[in-house]
Chain A
Amino acid sequence: MDFSVALLLAQDGVTNGAIYALLSLALVLVFAVTRVIFIPQGEFVAYGALSMAAINAGFLPPTMWLVVTLGIAVAVVESVAALREGATARLPMIVFRNAVLPILAVIAVRYLPLKSLAYPLQVAIALAFVVPLGPQIYRLAFQPVAEATVLLLLIVSVAVHFMLVGLGLYFFGAEGGRTPAFTDGGFTLGPTYVQFQTLWIVGIAALLIAGLALFFERSIYGKALRATAINRTGARLMGISADLAGKLCFTLAALVGAFSGILIAPITTIYYDTGFLIGLKGFVGAIIGGLASYPLAAAGAILVGLLESYSSFYASAYKEVIVFTLIIPVLLWQSLAKHHVDDEDEH
């Protein structure tokens, strides 16, 4: 391998690594706040990318009926809960926000000339019909068992993943999707050629990470999430709703996932089931961070990207094996460094 190939691979690795870093941050966030190991994170990547591809080709967002269906389901569940509490005054708002709003959005999007819309508007529409799935899934699948063990939440998580992959095939078909680059072309930098899309990905990933950091440091909601992550019971006693915290971090996770998909769709063909492996690589990053540290998770994710890129050069058939085997030394190190094991029966 000469130097220019090495640089090209590094560029590739950092690009993918930036995406994995975004996903790993979302995974750490969701786990810290809700104790859910969010296996379906990758499905949001695929849904985001493929919705964008569909809209870009002038089709309606394929997931819109799912958003409406889940919205109605959430409206029903919330209404029943409100009725039990006797809070009938809240009913109109519940129905409007969860069920009517998505239906209005579907009606609106039918009349839009999707194909000729500006690119950023297409992105916004794609996100509008994927991101709501995050809080909807939290409300329907996770909130009813929010106090259960990590194990049970993990099994629910895998079940949701299964459903989303099955639905993904129905919505998007078996063919992959690809979208045009944000900006075509690139430039030569020394011995290597840099695509503009690469800059977009790395730049936006860095901006998003900075934005998340600001959100957690400065905003009241960010602080509420951090408080919940540190001590759920304590946060609840301070008036922070665990349900709200859960919904909020699922929204963030869905947003990060879908946007990551939109970012990489111009450089990789995405299939309905590609998301899983992408999400899992974010996981490897998150595990390197012990499912707790954001900077370590991001650094781990970049490492995963680089490792993947170089191993695809040397042993492309085994690149997945090499990437996933990376967690073994990491887990071994964490296991040996750890002295006390958590007792799950003490809550």
Chain B
Amino acid sequence: MSRLFTPNRALLGFLLALSLVPLFAAPFTVTLVNYIGLYALVALGLVLLTGIGGLTSFGQAAFVGLGAYATAYLTTRHGMSPWGTLIVGMVITTAVSLALGFITLRLSGHFLPLGTIAWGISLYFIFGNLEALGGHGGIDGIPAVDLFGLELGSGRAFFYVIWATLLAAIVTTQNMLDSREGRAMRCLRSMTMTEAMGINTLWYRMVLFMIAAQFACVSGWLYAHLQRFVNPTPFSLGHGIEYLFMAVLGGTAAVWGAVFGATAVTFLKEWLQDLLPKLLGATGNFEMVVFGLLTIIVLHRTRDGLWPILMRFIPQREGKKTVEPALPLPRRDLPTTGREVLQVKNVTKRFGGLVANDRMNLTVRAGEVMALIGPNGAGKSTLFNCISGVNPPTEGEIHFMDQRIDALSSREIAKLGMSRTFQHVRLNQDMTVLENAAIGAHLRGRKNFVQSAWRLDREEERRLLWEASHQLERCGLGEHLFDAAGSLPLGKQRIVEIARALCSDPTLLLLDEPAAGLRHLEKRALAELLAKLRAEGMAILLVEHDMDFVMGLADRVVVMEFGEHLAEGLPQEIQTNPKVLEAYLGGVDA
């Protein structure tokens, strides 16, 4: 089948049609399309916040107002240049969003939206009541923007400014999401795993909220210079909610959902405001009812909004299928073989009255595989969580590389060179295997989200992906690099977790049941890989139920029962230890 309709052509056609709008369309249409651009910019921020970060805000209209009022006030009362007021507006927005984020983002996900409701209402009342801002009457006489001596006074001229800004925002957002920083952002919903990979989830949430607020602020600045007049009405909480509807209806899973949502809502509103009062013979905000209803239906039927449905009609761009070779990343110095890297001393973990770990002791040396075994419910995974800082111990001490770590967060422990896998696989099911593995290499990169938005991170990005692909190859997943992680069988997903942990170049590797769900040959390949890592000097602590696997691989074995240390020794000693046999097989009285 010939491809008349490719993604590139669709985009090109869209841009061409768009660029012709100011030349041929009626003034009313130009105005409408201008507004769509302004709304889409705000909705784009919400797509990032809601679709990527799993957070949301009802207060985006207030940030729009902040940008609009900052420029309106400073240009008319203090004669500042619009370019200067843009910077002032963005600085204030940064301060407000950081403050709101600091207060609410540590709490559960719903406190940010609640906080933004309060913020949206408060700012609206402040706009309406401050004499200096013209009260409910607003401020008029805002000057036109001057671009290289060209005065952009008309809606037609301003059209290009608005849409160029929006397209730049879309492109930079897409760049950012396709980078080390973006991968971290896309994993924010799986907080335990992301933190254990050394990623500061609070910071990334903060960044997403800040970016969303900046997009809104810029939209407000554009609005003020388009309209040349501001009053509080468009910045109310109700409009904040409308922005959210645009994002949700369009779809929060893709950046173009914002543009589609803003377009659909704007045109639909125009149409409904004409049609419904005629139809019902009464005045009212019927479009509110319709938008509310549509939003509920969309959320019931397709949580990713309408954009993905539209996309079914356009053949999708093939993703990149090769990883470019790059210089290897610098590696950590591994400790000399035989040195103790991990010491667990009298660790106790209580959950209320339940003692899950009772005065546990164990050590792991560089260049050895230490196996932790025991019946189900013995407290092995709890001990893993204590060691890796996911759920710190109640009492006792843990030392890693001569540093006490039992009070450190999992993120700080990851930085010291410990990495782990999880018993219940924690991968981002929608990202590719390669991207999932690259999450593990997060700490080995430095470039920030601004650099990645402008593609100043490409050299580092190539090295990170090359490392991820190298580790995946080693683990035998070379043919799955570009598959969605969720499409692999569970056993292979566990191996992706191992590759992800290896990407962090760890000194100590914690593996929670790595062989579960693997077939015989795959188990053998895994044992070979672990033996090779051991030979390189890595320390490995593993929990496993498959005794053949454990006994063939481990140098030493620790047995746990009811949270306590039951036995320790060489594999063959453990196999004949009567206490261990009783724990596994029960007493002999049966």
Interface residues of A (CB under 8 A from B): 37, 141, 144-145, 148-152, 154-156, 158-163, 165-167, 169-170, 277, 280, 283-284, 287, 317-318, 320-321, 324-325, 327-328, 331-332, 334-336, 338, 341-346
Are A166 and B129 in touch, CB under 8 angstroms? no
Are A320 and B125 in touch, CB under 8 angstroms? yes
* CA–CA, A144 and B107, complex, Å: 27
Are B241 and A158 in touch, CB under 8 angstroms? yes
Are A158 and B58 in touch, CB under 8 angstroms? yes
Q: Which of A163, A324, A331, A345 contacts B111 (CB under 8 A)?
A: A331
Interface size for B (C-beta < 8 A) is 51
Which residues does chain A contribute within 8 Å of B244, judged by CB atoms? 155, 158
Which residues does chain A contribute within 8 Å of B299, judged by CB atoms? 145, 148, 152, 155-156, 159
Residue among A162, A284, A324, A328 having the largest count of chain B Cβ atoms under 10 Å: A162
* CA–CA, A336 and B102, complex, Å: 10
Closest CB in chain B relative to A277 CB, distance in Å:
8
* CA–CA, A318 and B55, complex, Å: 29
Contacts A150-B108, A318-B125 given; does A166 touch B284 at CB 8 Å? yes
Number of A-B contacts (CB under 8 A): 145
* CA–CA, A334 and B114, complex, Å: 14
Are A37 and B110 in touch, CB under 8 angstroms? yes
Are A325 and B108 in touch, CB under 8 angstroms? no
* CA–CA, A234 and B103, complex, Å: 33
Q: Which of B113, B119, B280, B284 contacts A154 (CB under 8 A)?
A: B113
Are A151 and B300 in touch, CB under 8 angstroms? no
Contacts A166-B289, A169-B285 given; does A345 touch B191 at CB 8 Å? yes
Are A343 and B190 in touch, CB under 8 angstroms? yes
* CA–CA, A119 and B114, complex, Å: 38
Q: Which secondary structure dominates where chain A touches chain B?
A: helix
Q: Which of A150, A160, A320, A335 contacts B104 (CB under 8 A)?
A: A335
* CA–CA, A160 and B293, complex, Å: 8
Known pairs A158-B244, A170-B282, A335-B103. 16 more at Cβ < 8 A?
A37-B110, A37-B114, A141-B296, A145-B299, A158-B58, A161-B241, A162-B292, A170-B286, A280-B117, A321-B121, A321-B122, A321-B126, A324-B122, A325-B122, A336-B106, A342-B108
Q: Which of A166, A280, A345 contacts B288 (CB under 8 A)?
A: A166
Q: Which of B56, B114, B126 contacts A287 (CB under 8 A)?
A: B114
Are A324 and B121 in touch, CB under 8 angstroms? yes
* CA–CA, A273 and B113, complex, Å: 21
Q: Which B-chain residue is minimally distant from A315 (CB atoms)?
A: B129
Closest CB in chain A relative to B392 CB, distance in Å:
10
Q: Does B115 contact A (CB under 8 A)?
A: yes
Are B292 and A166 in touch, CB under 8 angstroms? yes
- For B393-429 the 0/1 string (1 means CB < 8 A from A) is 0000000000000000000000000000000001000
Which residues does chain A contribute within 8 Å of B284, judged by CB atoms? 166, 169-170
* CA–CA, A336 and B111, complex, Å: 14
The list of the 3 closest CB pairs from A to B, nearest first, reads: A166-B288, A163-B292, A162-B292
- For B217-254 the 0/1 string (1 means CB < 8 A from A) is 00000000000000000000010010011001000000
Please provide the chain B residues from 75 to 122 with a CB less than 8 Å away from any CB of chain A in the complex.
102-104, 106-111, 113-115, 117-119, 121-122
Q: Which of A141, A155, A317, A334 contacts B129 (CB under 8 A)?
A: A317
Contacts A170-B282, A344-B189 given; does A328 touch B293 at CB 8 Å? no
Closest CB in chain A relative to B369 CB, distance in Å:
29
Q: Which of A149, A284, A287, A341 contacts B54 (CB under 8 A)?
A: A149
Q: Does B291 contact A (CB under 8 A)?
A: yes
Are A154 and B110 in touch, CB under 8 angstroms? yes
Instruction: List, sorted by A's number, 21 A–B pairs whose CB atoms are closer than 8 Å.
Output: A151-B110, A151-B113, A156-B299, A159-B292, A161-B292, A162-B238, A162-B292, A163-B293, A166-B286, A166-B287, A166-B289, A170-B280, A170-B284, A280-B117, A284-B118, A318-B129, A320-B122, A335-B103, A341-B108, A345-B192, A346-B192
* CA–CA, A145 and B117, complex, Å: 23
Are A335 and B107 in touch, CB under 8 angstroms? yes
* CA–CA, A45 and B358, complex, Å: 55
Residue among A166, A284, A325 having the largest count of chain B Cβ atoms under 10 Å: A166
